[in-house]
Amino acid sequence: MNTILKLRGVSKQFPGVMALQDVDLEVQAGEIHALLGENGAGKSTLAKIIGGVYPPTTGEIYLNDTVQNFHSPYDAQKAGIGMLYQELNLLPELTIAENIFLGSEPKQALLPFIDWKRIHRQTTILLDKVGLDVSFKVKVGSLSIAQQQMVQLVVHQESNSR
């Protein structure tokens, strides 16, 4: 298989705290991994290093066998790494469609009006892609946490494709 992500000897030290020490990790194409551990074990710190939020104190990150030095989450995104955090960034009083297209609503041709038909059509396609069988008209606040996370995934994918 093809190794797409590799961490070698990654450590992270904050003033007075060794948050991670000498972490090695390999992720092959098509694999799914889970980070498990107690509070304070370093799971979030590791994810934030991979996502470009923190630089490692020591060690190296490889993407497709190329060493990476992320200076920001934007750098990581440009390289193809996206992070979804536990905290959701959705507006519960808006519909699924409104959350997905918030701030980038397509306009009707030659008119300054939002193209709601296009938004609804595209939202239906996007929800189908992630296997979420709910209407685009549903308010996000009425969804289960798992469903909200699926909507967050669509929002994240769409915002990165614009």
Listed by start position, the domains of the chain span: 3-79, 96-161
Tens-place pLDDT, residues 32-75: 888 899 998 999 999 999 999 999 999 999 999 999 999 998 89
| Cα–Cα distance measured from residue 90 to residue 138, given in angstroms and rounded to the nearest whole number | 13
> CA of 18: how far to CAs of 12, 13, 36, 66, 68, in Å?
6, 4, 18, 26, 22
Of 78, 77, 102, residue with least CA distance to 152: 102
Query: Rounded to two decimals, what is the model's pTM?
Result: 0.69
| CATH class in words for 3-79 | alpha beta
